Amino acid sequence: MNVREPDWAYVARSLLRVLIVSMTLFVALYAAEGALATFVDLDDKRLAQVYGTAARITNPDKRLSTGYSDGGGLLGTTYTLTGEPRRADHDQPWREYEITKDLFGVIRAPSLSGPSGRLGDAITAVDANPGEDKTLTEASRKTIDALPQTLEAVAVVEFTHPMTTEQLVAFNRRHRLCGGTGVSYVYAPSYYDDSDPIPLTNAIVWNRGMTAEGDPTYQCETEPEAALAEFRRWTRKLHETDDLSQFGLTPHRLTETAKEGTVHALLLDHWKLSALKPLLNTPETRTITLTDTTFNLGTPK
């Protein structure tokens, strides 16, 4: 039986053709990306300015950094945030959270869909206009009284009614409260509507440090004015086509919330219990929920 020898010249020519076609496709793709970069910002700053900020708004249970981009490309862009759990203990593990935008403009952020744990529960429990509840107020007082007043805490201060900026500035002046990274404003509670395309809409929690423009210079008692002005400025960047469903938000709700501009609760980070307790001695405060203290309240959910 005769075995036919391969036509090695033909094989070499075929491999050469494959190599040439592959190199041509690679060069064409590289050139197309370079040409596209002339007209389109492949780094996609909107990932940082819009989607990165939206992630911080709906994930107050995390202290999220300003983040960084992979530079983008034809196949998509990834924006990475680093963050730690919002706990009273300063020594918490940091991890990375990715927001990706693919070739078709689809946004994915699987680990940034909303808050969890005790802080998530406390934010979700904030009501739109709950009114007074002296039983809750006294329960909060007993909880705080039972702990050493020098402990630091993460807490949610819920108001009996939505507070306007003017009312909140007056509240700050009475209690000598200053703005900063440790004071965030709950502009809208979360709600659930199974008839809505996005059934669960997350709470809108805002701090001026959440934008991608860098660290702000915080004001003292008048910080609510600056915070609302910055929130409204940010919402003007939103487009109706921005898909924020991964964060349980819509551009319309954010814009309407900014127009209304009232505050339903405060998220206070690293506050001593001795500074929290006086806030219960005012008719505006309904309850204070401690979500964590430097004294262990138990294993987190």
Q: Which domain holds residue 62?
A: 45-108
> First vs last Cα of the chain: how many Å apart?
75
pLDDT in tens, 128-151: 889 999 999 999 999 999 999 999
Would residue 2 count as lying in a domain?
Answer: no
Q: What is the value of pTM for the model shown? A: 0.82
pLDDT for the residue numbered 92: 84
Copy the structure tokens of residue 289: 């929920």
Answer yes or no: do 285 and 157 share one domain. Answer: yes
Q: In angstroms, rounded to a whole number, what is the distance separating the alpha carbons of residues 228 and 221?
A: 13
> Are both 212 and 280 inside the same structural domain?
yes
Is position 173 within any domain? yes
Q: Which stretch, 122-131, 163-172, 175-184, has highest mean pLDDT?
A: 163-172
Looking at the structure, tell me whether residues 59 and 159 fall in a common domain.
no
pLDDT of residue 213: 64
Under the banding of pLDDT at 50, 70 and 90, the label for residue 54 is very high
Radius of gyration of the chain measured on its C-alpha atoms? 25
Q: What is the pLDDT of residue 214?
A: 61
Q: Please give the C-alpha separations between residue 1 and each of 4, 5, 6, 7, in angstroms, as whole numbers.
A: 10, 13, 16, 18
Q: What is the share, in percent, of the chain residues with pLDDT greater than 70? A: 82
pLDDT digits (tens, 9 = 90+) for 181-234: 999 999 999 987 777 666 778 999 999 989 866 678 899 999 999 999 999 999
In-domain check, residue 215: yes
Identify whether residues 174 and 60 lie together within a single domain: no
Q: What does pLDDT average to over the chain?
A: 86
Task: With residue 123 as reference, give the H or E element that holds it.
Answer: helix 117-125
Nearest Cα neighbor of 86 from 179, 186, 156, 154 is: 154
**Residue after which a domain boundary falls, among 88, 108, 128:** 108
Q: What domain count does the chain have? A: 2
Are 102 and 271 contacting, i.e. CB atoms less than 8 angstroms apart?
A: no
Residues 263 and 176 in one domain: yes
Task: Looking at the structure, tell me whether residues 155 and 244 fall in a common domain.
Answer: yes
Q: In this structure, are 228 and 157 located in the same domain?
A: yes
Is residue 34 over pLDDT 90?
no
100 and 134 co-located in one domain: no
Give the mean model confidence (pLDDT) for residues 104-108. Answer: 90
Instruction: Looking at the structure, tell me whether residues 85 and 180 fall in a common domain.
Output: no
- Is pLDDT above 90 for 275? yes
State whether 197 and 249 are in the same domain: yes
Residue for token digits 């501009």? 261
For residues 212 and 68, state if they share a domain: no
pLDDT at 301 over 50: no
Is residue 192 domain-shared with residue 74, that is, in the same domain? no
Nearest to 282 by CA among 127, 177, 203: 177
Residue of 5 and 295 predicted with greater confidence: 295
What does the pLDDT read at residue 238? 96
